[in-house]
Amino acid sequence: MPRQKSERFIVPIGPQHPALKEPGHFEFTVEGEVVTNATARLGFVHRGMEKGAESRTWTQDLYLMERVCGICSHVHSMAFVLGVEKLANVQAPPRAQAIRELVAELERIHSHILWLGVAAHEGGFDTLFMFSWRDRETVMDLLETISGNRVNYSANVLGGVKVDINERQKDELLRGMDFLEERTRHYLKVVTEDDTFLGRTRNIGVMTFEEATRLGAIGPTGRASGLLRDVRMDSPYAGYPDFPIQIVTAKAGDLEARFVVRIKELFESYRLVREIVEKIPSGDLTTKIPRRIPEGETVSRVEAPRGELFYYIKSNGTDRPERVKVRTPSLCNCASVLTTAIGHKLADMPMILAGIDPCFSCNDRMVVLNGPAGQSLWDWEKLRQYGIEYYKK
Amino acid sequence: MNNPIQNVMEKIKTWARTNSPWAIHFNSGSCNGCDIEILATLTPRYDVERFGIKLQGSPRHADVLICTGPVTLQARDRLVRIYEQMPEPKFVVAVGSCSISGGVFDGCYNVVGDISEVIPVNVYVPGCPPRPEAIIYGIEQLLKTLQP
């Protein structure tokens, strides 16, 4: 029987798909089992928050920005307050800065363990998913004792923090860290020694150092390819000048390296939490900040669990910002998925996709298109029609 | 419905439905907070599978649609399509403040509004995000209304 010339198929995944917890749409072109091309369509969770921020006051925006992403909510509000404090020329007290760092590191622990579970689940290793999420409840309890909420802690206010830690909470934190450290050591052993799991991760989705540099990979995804890039080290903010981190990198750039980098970052976070608990400076929690922020513009960078988070804030001297621009780490890493996916089997796609720890709710931004006749503004109906036509092809 | 066999069949159906509802989860513009709490209900500490509740991948196998977040213009068509693909009888649980009123996103230009503006909702679970216990309680309330 003559073979068909081309056996190309396009496999659409999403926006509602069991492998994705959030809506995102991917199209993989496959020849047999091997992926030859990949495209992504984002924007299902685009809500128009940057525009919405312009019609809210600085304080209201704090709560809006915290809900850019539920997993890394604290770093979003931290990037925002650090920018606003820079504009207002106000410095939060040292104790507030230390508590900001403490909550950020606890959030990193929760986010990395969450990722470990989800990535293991995508690889079909549900036991690890269940175990890691059971242990994650420890850090969720700690965040709840500190802030009163499991997610969206709203620990920051303009000019400081609104939560404090007492002796009892310090004990709980230390006990929690001991438990988690022991468990994490076990997970490190599992992901580096379990043969079945290594079959799904070793040499899969390899991104070399050169490629990572070219694609602008950041965060643990970039560090797993040997990139020395971490905002906490490059330009320390909040409490990081007093409680510095040690950067964790790996060389291989495959999925296994991303597991190892994230797990080793957990140990670093445990160490930092212990250090902050022991040496937390005493003093006030907040300073006074004006209701109207002086005119000016600023850039604020923090290291989110997924990589560098970038805020641009412009004030026109009123009680509302003139422009807030957010650039989230998942957007930078998205290109790396589409490139590393090519040449792998379709079955590896969920793992490669999960490997960058994608977060679509952070991601979905509006892009203004420069049309052919010099027109740069599209109304909504036109944009929608364009989108429908574009994806019809 | 006087046929005794039909009566018995209805009873068996209700028994099966209330003891093993299969759920599907769709995020139509949420910040993820509710989604990770829904995921947390499946994991060992909360473990909804002991009530027979199972998170299911395909809308065609699902009885309960768990929605999070406000509805964005992009996700609206998908949400309606998923709802229409579900077999009757179908129930909708709206989780989180955004799915009740739009929450903090109320007034953003790409947000249509809450879930009930697009599809009918049976149970609302408030909170930003609701605790896993609250989500379980919400689903339990839904199952109670199905009892004869």
Say if the Cβ atoms of A44 and B75 lie within 8 Å: yes
- How many Å apart are CA A271 and CA A250, to the nearest integer? 20
In whole angstroms, how far apart are CA A4 and each of A15, A34, A210? 31, 17, 38
- How many Å apart are CA B55 and CA B25, to the nearest integer? 7
Say if the Cβ atoms of B35 and A70 lie within 8 Å: yes
Taking residues A334-363, what's their average pLDDT? 79
Residue A114 lies in a domain: yes
Report yes or no: B34 at the A interface, CB cutoff 8 Å: yes
* Of the partner residues B26, B31, B107, the one whose CB lies closest to the CB of residue A68: B31
The alpha carbon dihedral of A336, A257, B35, A327 has a sign of negative
Residue A339 lies in a domain: no
- A20 falls in which pLDDT band (50, 70, 90)? low
Say if the Cβ atoms of B73 and A133 lie within 8 Å: no
- B92 falls in which pLDDT band (50, 70, 90)? very high
With CA atoms as reference, the chain B residue closest to A62 would be B104
Q: Give the closest-approach CA distance of A127 to chain B in angstroms.
A: 10
Say if the Cβ atoms of A151 and B33 lie within 8 Å: yes
Say if the Cβ atoms of B73 and A44 lie within 8 Å: no
- Alpha carbon B17 to its chain's center: 14
What is the CATH class of B23-146? alpha beta
Average model confidence (pLDDT) across chain B: 89
A379 burial (CB, 10 Å; 0-12 / 13-18 / 19+) is exposed
**What is the predicted pLDDT for the residue at A34?**
86
**What is the predicted pLDDT for the residue at A371?**
46
Two tokens, residue A384:
């929608």
Q: Three-state SS across B67-118?
A: EECCEEHHHHHHHHHHHHHCCCCCEEEEECHHHHHCHHHCCCCCEEECHHHC
List of chain A residues whose C-beta atoms are within 8 Å of the C-beta of residue B40? 133, 137, 140
- Give percent helix, percent strand, percent coil of chain B, each to the nearest 5: 45, 20, 35
What's A218's domain CATH number?
A: 1.10.645.10
Predicted confidence (pLDDT) at residue A252 exceeds the cutoff of 60: yes
Residue A392 lies in a domain: no
Q: Which domain holds residue A230?
A: 49-329
With CA atoms as reference, the chain B residue closest to A362 would be B31
Taking residues A299-306, what's their average pLDDT? 91
- How many Å apart are CA A288 and CA A292, to the nearest integer? 12
Residue A351 lies in a domain: no
Residue in A143, A119, A384, A167 with CA at minimum distance from that of residue A269: A143
In the three-class reduction of DSSP (H, G, I as helix; E, B as strand; rest coil), residue A87 is classed as helix
Residue A336 lies in a domain: no
Residue A355 lies in a domain: no
The residue of B42, B110, B133 whose CB has the most chain A CBs within 10 angstroms, and thus the best one to mutate to test that interface, is B110
| ipTM confidence score | 0.90
Two tokens, residue A9:
């198929």
Question: Each residue of A89-122: pLDDT tens digit?
Answer: 999 999 999 999 999 999 999 999 999 998 888 8
**What is the predicted pLDDT for the residue at A369?**
47
Say if the Cβ atoms of A133 and B111 lie within 8 Å: no
Q: What is the number of domains present in chain A?
A: 1
